[in-house]
């Protein structure tokens, strides 16, 4: 969580120099359950990768939710942010644990940019342009339906994809190899890149095998045409 703290501190200092803001994780945070004076921001459709801590299966999701509650004490010029990142479970394990997502640094920056924008609008009542919201980068293609059964946000009733909504406009696709990933603080072992990418979210190997299959079909059709034309010509002249 170091990186979240670092980037948040930088961004809030840029926006409101002199005001002191603290940020902490709270896994009991509930959507719309706010103390008086607190405001809420829910970042939807964040892209992140996951790894099972039991079987090392990896997957990715573009439906990760991050919930923030913010409060500003105007007199003291002090603010607090509580944050909850919703986790997902491995679908291959019989008794799965909730695994925390891994975000790229660029997506962490974008989520926190949006948070600071919301703080500006909701806590300081600054006029903000809602279109200024940073888009989350989808670093890899995700296919197939959202796995609600293994999603903590779905269980909490806040996951947008519960009704299979169309692809959101707040994200855009860019291949993963263009930027590095930020590992979670508690990462055990460093064999995250084992290539055992996911079936749920459409792995590249699946895409490649469908490509091979198409190429195979194409070659066979060409061969059939190549053989059929001379046979047809031969039969035509023989008949004459």
Report whether 196 contacts 56 (CB < 8 A). Answer: yes
- Least Cβ distance, residue 102 to Zn ion (angstroms): 15
Q: Of 108, 151, 158, 201, which lies in the binding site for Zn ion, with binding defined by CB under 5 A?
A: 151
Q: Of 159, 171, 197, 200, which lies in the binding site for Zn ion, with binding defined by CB under 5 A?
A: 159
Q: What distance in Å separates the CA atoms of residue 68 and residue 44, rounded to the nearest whole number?
A: 11
- Least Cβ distance, residue 78 to Zn ion (angstroms): 34
Verify binding: residue 52, Zn ion, rule CB under 5 A: yes
Q: Per-residue string for binding with Zn ion, 108-147, x by CB under 5 A?
A: ----------------------------------------
- Least Cβ distance, residue 220 to Zn ion (angstroms): 40
Q: Of 90, 111, 115, 117, which lies in the binding site for Zn ion, with binding defined by CB under 5 A?
A: 90
Which SS3 state, helix, strand or coil, does residue 85 take? strand
Residue 120 Cα distances to 1, 75, 165, 186, angstroms: 23, 16, 29, 32
- Least Cβ distance, residue 203 to Zn ion (angstroms): 16
Q: Point out which span in 2-10, 68-76, 149-157, 217-225 binds Zn ion (CB under 5 A).
A: 149-157
Report whether 170 contacts 44 (CB < 8 A). Answer: yes
Which SS3 state, helix, strand or coil, does residue 95 take? coil
Verify binding: residue 64, Zn ion, rule CB under 5 A: no
Q: Of 29, 46, 134, 154, which lies in the binding site for Zn ion, with binding defined by CB under 5 A?
A: 154
List strand residue ranges (DSSP E) for 56-175, in order.
Answer: 58-73, 78-85, 88-89, 98-99, 136-138, 171-173
The number of beta carbons lying within 10 Å of the beta carbon of residue 216 is 10
**Residues contributing to the site for Zn ion (CB under 5 A):** 52, 54-55, 57, 90, 92-93, 151, 153-154, 159
């Amino acid at each position: 969580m170091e990186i979240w703290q670092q980037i948040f501190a930088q961004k809030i200092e840029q926006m409101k120099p002199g005001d002191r803001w603290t940020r902490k994780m709270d896994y009991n945070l509930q959507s719309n359950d706010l103390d008086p004076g607190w405001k809420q921001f829910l970042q939807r459709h964040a892209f992140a990768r996951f790894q099972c801590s039991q079987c090392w299966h990896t997957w990715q999701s573009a439906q990760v939710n991050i919930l923030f509650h913010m409060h500003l004490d105007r007199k003291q010029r002090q603010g607090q942010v509580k944050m909850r990142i919703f986790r997902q479970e491995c679908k291959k394990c019989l008794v799965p644990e909730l695994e925390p997502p891994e975000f790229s640094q660029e997506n962490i920056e974008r989520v926190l940019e949006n948070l600071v924008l919301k703080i500006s609008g909701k806590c300081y009542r600054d006029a903000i342009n809602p279109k200024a919201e940073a888009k989350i980068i989808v670093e890899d293609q995700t296919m197939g339906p959202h796995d609600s059964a293994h999603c903590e946000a779905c269980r909490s009733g806040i996951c947008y994809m519960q009704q299979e909504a169309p692809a959101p406009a707040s994200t855009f696709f860019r291949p993963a190899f263009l930027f590095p990933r930020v590992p979670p603080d508690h990462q055990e072992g460093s064999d995250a890149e084992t290539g055992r990418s996911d079936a749920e979210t459409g792995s590249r190997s699946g895409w490649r095998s469908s490509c091979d299959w198409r190429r195979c079909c194409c070659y066979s059709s060409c061969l059939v045409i190549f053989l059929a034309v001379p046979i047809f010509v031969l039969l035509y002249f023989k008949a004459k």
